[in-house]
Every structure is written in C-alpha cells, then in structure tokens.
Amino acid sequence: MFCPKCGSILFPKTIKGKKIIKCSCGYTDKKLDIPKITETTRQKEEVAVVDKEVEPYPLADAECPKCKHGKAYFWTVQTRASDEPETKFFKCEKCKHVWRDYN
C-alpha cells in the first residue's frame, strides 16, 4: 500500500495496542488490511526404483575387443578441434567394456 499524499510505502505500526499503517510524511490510516499469506504443500511423489540399468544409446554391430561380443552401444563426442571428426565411443552390451573408435 502507498501513501496517498507522497506516494511512499505505508508501514504497519502498533500505537497504544492498535495496529495502524503510517507513512514517514505523517499520514496515518486506521484501517489496516494486511494480506494473509498462506502456504500449501503437496505430498511428494514416490520415486520409482529401477533395478535394471537402461542404456539410452543406440545399439550397433561392433566387436568388443575384450569379450568378442558382436553388439555394442555407441555415442559420439567432439574431443578434438571442430574441424576434425568426432570420436565414437562404444560400450559392450555384454561385459560393459568401453573403447573408442577414431575413424
């Protein structure tokens, strides 16, 4: 709320046990309408626990150098300068071994 005389913010004060709003310029108002702030909280949702690790990467035909399995997940990362090709990483579907391919 703002003072109608000077436009400053009105502050609540307690004078002789009564609550009023008062301005620094001397204006007072005896009707005090302080808005009531309420807060409501919602119950948190339960988090689902996943026992199995799910790979978000696509599966490709690639032979694992460790276990010789024929399928691996892959993703690419720009590890060098932007004018050079990306580095392709593989993760074996069976033994989870990770290796890179620079081709």
Report the pLDDT value the prediction gives residue 43, as an integer from 0 to 100: 84
CATH number of 59-101: 2.20.25.10
Q: What is the pLDDT of residues 42-72, one digit of tens each?
A: 888 888 887 777 668 889 899 999 999 999 9
What is the domain partition of the chain in residue ranges? 1-36, 59-101
Encode pLDDT of 2-23 as tens digits: 888 888 888 888 878 778 888 8
- Strands of the chain (E only): list them: 11-15, 18-22, 28-29, 59-61, 71-77, 87-92, 98-101
Active site amino acids:
83-84
Q: Measured between alpha carbons, how far is 22 from 11 in angstroms, rounded to an integer? A: 5
- Does this model's pTM top 0.75? no
Rounded distance between C-alpha atoms, residue 25 and residue 11, angstroms: 12
Partners of residue 18 on adjacent β-strands: 15
